[in-house]
């Protein structure tokens, strides 16, 4: 619970401080503080996160990494199913519940994706940020959260409440265990994005590139939820929290050429 209180406090302070000084960009009115936070995150990534991800990918065989990712994706089906219900999407709520049930029971706690391979239930992700957008908050200012990366005020607040209410992580009894569990997840996600580093290096303005990729990806998800395009929310789409998907970065790079 101490970790939860720190997370809530830090996120709240950041979101409130972002409201102090506005810049000229309507999508990024807090660009000055966002760029400074982005520089800090890049320093943290180059110093610790990226090397850890490289070692993680080099040491662990691909099947083990896939099983680890499956396990975390299975946990993510809990808030996904809850947000399906909150959005009134009962069709996906039923499918996602059965995916969670099948993989938790027959898939050894979700390490094996039996639901997708045997039952035709592909991975999906839904989050509270999309729920807030469904309820009307569709245009939210962009912010960069320390350690977590690109977000919006809507998605940052949603992530805070989703972590506290809709995920099992706060139920873990010790802070040390929580740090390990969440740390492995972030390293696993970062390892999946190592191949996109080249695209980031080619960007003239890496901050603007990441911002545009994130906002484009989230807007696409929101439009898909509202039925304005055809979209499939795959497992790594949960990265309204920490990273955006490799697909989103690639699509943004293609559009900028």
User: What pTM, to 2 d.p., does this model score?
Assistant: 0.82
CB 49 within 8 A of CB 190: yes
Which tokens sit at 76?
Answer: 């993510």
pLDDT-flagged residues of the chain (< 50) = 1, 4, 8, 230-243
Give the H/E segment covering residue 152: strand 149-152
Task: Please tell me the predicted confidence (pLDDT) of residue 170.
Answer: 94
Which tokens sit at 109?
Answer: 């706690």
Task: Please tell me the predicted confidence (pLDDT) of residue 155.
Answer: 97
Residues 253, 47, 50, 67: is their CA dihedral positive or negative? negative
Give the H/E segment covering residue 27: none
Q: Considering only CA atoms, which of 22, 42, 40, 41 is closest in space to residue 32?
A: 22
pLDDT in tens, 35-91: 999 999 999 999 999 999 999 999 999 999 999 999 999 999 999 999 999 999 999
Task: Please tell me the predicted confidence (pLDDT) of residue 24.
Answer: 73
CA atoms within 13 A on the CB side of 148: 21
């Amino acid at each position: 619970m101490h970790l939860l209180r720190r997370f809530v406090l830090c996120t709240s302070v950041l979101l409130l401080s972002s409201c102090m000084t506005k810049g000229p960009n309507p999508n990024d009115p807090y660009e000055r503080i966002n760029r400074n936070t982005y520089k800090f995150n890049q320093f943290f990534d180059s110093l610790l996160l990226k090397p850890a991800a490289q070692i993680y990918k080099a040491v662990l065989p691909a099947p083990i990494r896939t099983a680890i990712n499956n396990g975390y994706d299975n946990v993510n089906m809990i808030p996904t199913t809850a947000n399906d219900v909150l959005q009134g999407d009962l069709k996906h709520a039923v499918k996602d519940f059965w995916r969670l049930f099948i993989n938790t029971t027959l898939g050894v706690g979700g390490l094996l994706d039996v639901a997708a391979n045997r039952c035709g239930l592909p991975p999906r992700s839904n989050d509270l940020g999309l729920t807030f957008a469904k309820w009307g908050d569709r245009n939210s200012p962009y912010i960069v959260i320390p350690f977590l990366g690109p977000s919006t005020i809507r998605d940052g607040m949603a992530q805070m409440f989703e972590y506290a209410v809709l995920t099992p992580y706060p139920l873990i009894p010790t802070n040390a265990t929580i740090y390990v569990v969440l740390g492995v997840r972030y390293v696993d996600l970062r390892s999946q994005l190592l191949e996109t580093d080249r695209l980031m290096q080619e960007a003239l303005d890496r901050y603007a590139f990441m911002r545009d990729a994130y906002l484009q990806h989230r807007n696409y998800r929101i439009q898909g939820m509202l039925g304005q395009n055809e979209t499939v929310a795959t497992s790594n789409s949960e990265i309204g929290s920490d990273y955006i998907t490799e697909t989103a970065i690639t699509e943004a790079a293609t559009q900028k050429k």
